[in-house]
Amino acid sequence: MGRRRSALRKLSEVPVHWVARWFGLGVLLGSMTAAAQPKPSVTGPSDGQPTREVTLPGPTSMPLRAAIALDFEGVCLEHERLVASVERWLEVDRIHKRVTVSVTGEEAPELAARFWLLVDGQRVSLRRFEAFTGSCSELGASLSAAIALAIEAIDLADFPEPEPPPRPVLPAAKLTARAALQVDEPPLPPPRRRAGALQSLAIGPQILGAAGVAPAAGVGGGVRGELGFLHGVATRLAANYLVLETQPISDGTLAMRLPAGQVGVCWGRETNDYRAQGCLDAWAGALIGTPSQLERQSQQVLPWVAVAPGVELAFRRGKHWGVRLGTQLSFNVMRPRFEVLYNARDETLDEVATPPLGMIVLVGLDWNAI
């Protein structure tokens, strides 16, 4: 019995010993195999090697407030309220980026509105609310409901998307130092309309040059004020004083001065940087002639009236200042004339007279109070 137990003990110890040996050998081989596998790495192109440009797809939708553009003459409709009302109808605040809406309208002479539905910038449908008899809130509710229905009814499958322009061939890229990021500034919005009829108020000095408004050319200055209203209409009023060139007459000379008032109406268009307008002015003044070196000489004051159509261009410099350039044709309706008479008889020895047509050039400085 003693021998049998000893043999059984040795037999049970043999498998454990060999299992431990083979297990250690397996761990060693597995470590060597893992070490032999290539490790992943990321490398970039070396200097001068070409690279490949990859274009990622952009978003397919845009905010509703950016898709709806409002150009309404008056305060009846507001962009934020109109967008919020359309959002309530659609129950979403984003639509496909190919769809936009352009809304226009006015309060006077009658309340009206209309909108275009556009796909890829091309007009698709038009809806009008002309001579609307309801209130402003009723117009906004009807307009927002119609816009929402038009957006829901559009099927972009009926409008094939235009093919993108061909991609330019880019030169081989090189790895260089990273430059500073340049951010494109958004364009300035158009001038915002004010509530009410009065839109602007400008006042400032002006320098004048004139030829043909009197018997001689002259220069001078004045002060001008201008009021701007809706639809590009403006009115203005000015007071000016011109010093004219001295003219020879008979055996003496004639010095002339011309104080004159100016009133006119203009129509034009403006942007954030300039305003271009055409004007029609009426000028009225008193031409003062002072002779010298003549017998029985006396100062004379003669009336002068002219109608002057012209054009002007005003450039804005900052929020409140601007420079104005303009030119006018002066159709002299009332033309002064100075005469030297013979002593014994009322015969004209010499005269200087105003021509029928002249020209006025002005340069002004504006201060925009509104």
Looking at residue 223, what is its pLDDT?
96
280: pLDDT confidence band, cut at 50, 70 and 90? very high
Q: Kindly indicate the confidence band of residue 197, based on its pLDDT and cuts at 50, 70 and 90.
A: confident
Q: What is the pLDDT of residue 224?
A: 94
Spatial separation of the C-alpha atoms in residues 336 and 31, rounded to whole Å: 116
Residue % of the chain over a pLDDT of 90? 32
Average pLDDT, stretch 212-230? 93
Q: Give the Cα separation of 242 and 300 in Å (integer).
A: 16
Residue 325 near residue 313 (C-beta atoms within 8 A): yes
Percent of the chain with pLDDT over 70: 76
Pick from 21-35, 141-155, 174-188 the range whose average pLDDT is largest: 141-155
pLDDT, one tens digit per residue, over 311-357 is: 999 998 877 889 999 999 999 999 999 888 876 566 778 889 999 99
Q: How far is CA 318 from CA 29, 125, 323, in A?
A: 81, 41, 11
Residue 219 confidence class, pLDDT cut points 50, 70, 90: very high
> pLDDT, tens digit, for every residue of 150-185?
888 888 887 777 777 777 776 766 666 666 666 666
Per-residue confidence (pLDDT) for residue 181, from 0 to 100: 65
303 φ, ψ (degrees, to nearest 5): -75, 150
Please report the beta strands in the chain, taking only residues with DSSP state E, as ranges in sequence order. Answer: 61-63, 68-73, 94-96, 99-106, 112-119, 122-129, 198-211, 218-229, 233-244, 247-249, 252-270, 274-292, 300-317, 321-334, 337-341, 348-353, 357-368
Domains, the chain, in order of start with CATH, read 61-156 (3.30.160), 198-368 (2.40.160.20)
- 123 compared with 53, residue with greater pLDDT: 123
| Amino acid letter, residue 322 | G
- Does 291 score more than 60 pLDDT? yes
Q: What is the pLDDT of residues 240-252, one digit of tens each?
A: 999 999 999 888 8
CB environment 268-294: b (16+ within 10 A), e (fewer): bebeeeebebebebebebebbbebeee
Bridge partners of residue 260, in order along the sequence:
240, 285
In whole numbers, what is the pLDDT of the chain averaged over residues? 81
Name the burial class of residue 52, with classes exposed (0-12), middle (13-18) and buried (19+) by CB atoms within 10 angstroms of its CB.
Answer: exposed
Per the CB < 8 A criterion, the answer to whether 199 and 228 are in contact is yes
- Evaluate if residue 267 carries a pLDDT over 70: yes
Mean pLDDT of 21-45: 53
Rounded CA-CA distance 338/61 in Å is: 77
- The predicted structure's pLDDT at residue 158: 78
42 band by pLDDT with thresholds 50, 70 and 90:
very low
Judged against a pLDDT cut of 50, whether residue 7 lies above it is answered with no
